[in-house]
Amino acid sequence: MKQVELDSFDRRILDHLQQDGRISNQQLAEQVGLSPAACWRRVRALEEKGAIEGYAARLNPQVLGQALSVFALVSLQRHNIDSTAEFEQQVMTYPEVLQCFAVTGNADFVLRIVVPDMPSYDRFLNEKIFTLQGIAQVHSNFALREIKNTQNLPL
């Protein structure tokens, strides 16, 4: 994907939208120093270029009963396109997996998983991860507390 050139107005727009995706165009325009029409055109252009992928509400996992956050380091037995593609396709279907990264180092993938509690994680491992072909090992790290959790990019 081609990198987008950003001027100072684009950066300010993106920064404000990262802080509050529900801000009105009128308020956003005032914050960044543009007319509402010019601001709207820039936001649309940033969306069309892919700089803005979408808008979402941030949910509180504890309030919603998803208090256990786990980082699972998964190693595969084989490292070929078929085995990794199959693993990636299956992981994409698991709603408990919020993020999945292919990584270098001691594991092949790092998964960020949220579940209600330890028995739920045990079921997730036994019914989903351990049933996949080619899993060599899984190391689980449990979050004790959250220090920082943001999706905001430094602009």
Three-class DSSP category at 49? coil
Residue 136 lies in a domain: yes
Beta bridge pairs of residue 137: 75
Confidence of residue 1 (pLDDT cuts 50, 70, 90): confident
Domain with 42, as residue range(s), is 8-48
Residue 99 lies in a domain: yes
pLDDT, position 79:
84
pLDDT, position 121:
98
Total of domains in the chain: 2
If asked whether residues 43 and 86 sit together in one domain, one would say no
DSSP label at residue 125: I
Residue 62 lies in a domain: no
Backbone φ, ψ for residue 8 (5° rounding): -65, -35
If asked whether residues 78 and 138 sit together in one domain, one would say yes
If asked whether residues 76 and 132 sit together in one domain, one would say yes
- Encode pLDDT of 6-63 as tens digits: 999 999 999 999 999 999 999 999 999 999 999 999 999 999 999 999 999 999 999 9
Residue 130 lies in a domain: yes
Residues contacting 77, CB < 8 A, separation 6+: 83, 134, 135, 136
Residue 153 lies in a domain: no
If asked whether residues 78 and 114 sit together in one domain, one would say yes
Tokens of 142: 């449990």
If asked whether residues 74 and 44 sit together in one domain, one would say no
Show the 3-state SS of 81-118: HHHHHHHHHHHHCCCCEEEEEECCCCCCEEEEEEECCH
Residue 148 lies in a domain: no
* CATH number for the domain harbouring residue 20: 1.10.10.10
* CATH number for the domain harbouring residue 135: 3.30.70.920
- Encode pLDDT of 90-114 as tens digits: 999 999 999 999 999 999 999 999 9
Residue 155 lies in a domain: no
Residue 84 lies in a domain: yes
Tokens of 60: 């509180």
